[in-house]
Chains A and B, each alone.
Chain A
Amino acid sequence: MKPVQFHYCAGCGHSIAHRLVGEVIDEMNLRDIAVGIPGVGCCVFAYNYFDVDMAEVAHGRGMAVATGMKRVNPEAIVFTYQGDGDLCAIGIAETIHAANRGENLTTIFINNAIYGMTGGQMAPTTLLSQKTTTTPLGRNAAKEGSPIKMSEMLALLDGTVYLERTAVNSPANIRKTKKAIRKAFQAQIDGLGFSMVEVLSPCPTNWKMEPLDSWKWIDKEMVKVFPLGVIKDTTGKKEDAD
């Protein structure tokens, strides 16, 4: 990481997730070969924090850019760091197809159930009856659909090798998240295919909660819809992937 101050709101999960990715890159000695692609969301300025080569891309297109980048330079370790609006709304096609092709990429997917950067509108991951600025009465399945379970969807694809959902709302969960991020990078180093860590992350500002309450809300509400744990792991069985 670069020695600069985060722009994130107090209590935001992005800062913790950033720190974890940075630590993993350092511990795995990837700084010189890593290239990162942040999403267009609150993490758009991630290039100010990660001390690795970074490229900014159009909203949602991270996986396509990462695909082009990795295919022409397979020695690089390419990761995207995207929010739910980015990865799961505008970029859902890019995400599904990169995963389906088994692109040898690592994705950190920050699921905060809302659009942070643009001021708290509904995301594809917004919970039912959750109030946002564009669902003022609460998300209604009949009108707005139900929250998309991205990791479970991607698990159906042959190209994905490792999918885990974690959270950054407690020291124990933070430790698990770091382990998962490490494993996701290892899958890429081993050339196994597509890996993603979905991180449940608080957005106290747009959830209109105190940071501590937002941590509790993840445990109380979010994990009911987005259960934590390994969703798919075939890394042990794919040693000989080419």
Chain B
Amino acid sequence: MVKKVLQSILMPLIAIFISMIVGGIVILITAKQNPIYAYLALFSGAYGNLMNFATTLTNAIPLIITGLGVAIAFSSGLFNIGAEGQFWIGAIVATYLGYQVKGLPWFLHIPLIIICAMIAGALWGGVVPGLAKVYTGAHEVITTMMMSYIAIYFSHYLLEGGPMMDKGTIPQSPVIQNSAKLSTLVPNTQLSSGLFIAILAVVIVYILMYKTTLGYELRAVGFNVKAAKYAGINVAQKLVLAMGLSGAFAGLAGAVQIMGVQYRLYDSFTSGYGYTAIVVALLANNNPIGVVIAALFLAGLSTGAQEMQMQTNISGQLADVVVGLIIFFIAIEELYRIVIEKIKNRKTKLQPVGGQK
């Protein structure tokens, strides 16, 4: 048990450490600047004061919620790499209901939006890729990715002269009603009470995955499909359900982003949260608490990268380089095993000859 916990915490930490060093070397060569100074700028830009931390938290909210969704799919052995599209679909539904439905008090309007966005995300991410997988064996990596592109083009269609475009020439939707807006937590920042929705989502997913029969069954399917089938679990149904839940959370994240931060939909309203959420789930090893930590880390990386860019002129895209390296160094876990084994072998070789039994 201790070993397992160590492994799931230590591995990402080692990966992060190596990646920061490689990133530092890139800075040294290309920008000829002190990487430590750059990383300090990044760190203070992410967590240094209340304003920066609030921005990091704001960016972490969609990552936490979407990351939870991706983690549910991962735990069931499914790769939902189309969370980005499900995020868009949630945002589209939230925006439409947000400006179209008038006269509702906030305590009805917001739940209405949340429920509809989750259902839309579930249908988009779950029903199509899930059913396709179960009935035709179409791999979810491709179907979710394709659905993602369809969602993105669909949103562009809606906004660029389409039915959701606001008056004027800018491709953007009207602003949502006040009754659909989440309250702001820290003045002069974009941090909204969406934070509480994210925390609630973490608790719900934790209970769902670890305290209910359904969660156990979902994880059993992810652990070993054949064994799960043998144990009488309806695997097909669970796979569709896992994809559906996954999409529902991505849809929720899109809705929270609209209600709490953007208030309207426009072409580039997501900065790839759906893709980063995959990294979040990977770093977190699918653990809901880990999702929060990983999301805070990755959100900090992107918030801090902007600060770093301003202070040191080092382009913020370096954050992506580091993220890519982190996943790479996590993926090749076999290497650590080999290295540890080599070290162990060396130790045994050094033992005195008389020590042999």
Judge: A and B partners, yes or no: no
Residues of B in contact with A (beta carbons under 8 Å apart): none
Q: Which residues of A contact B (CB under 8 A)?
A: none
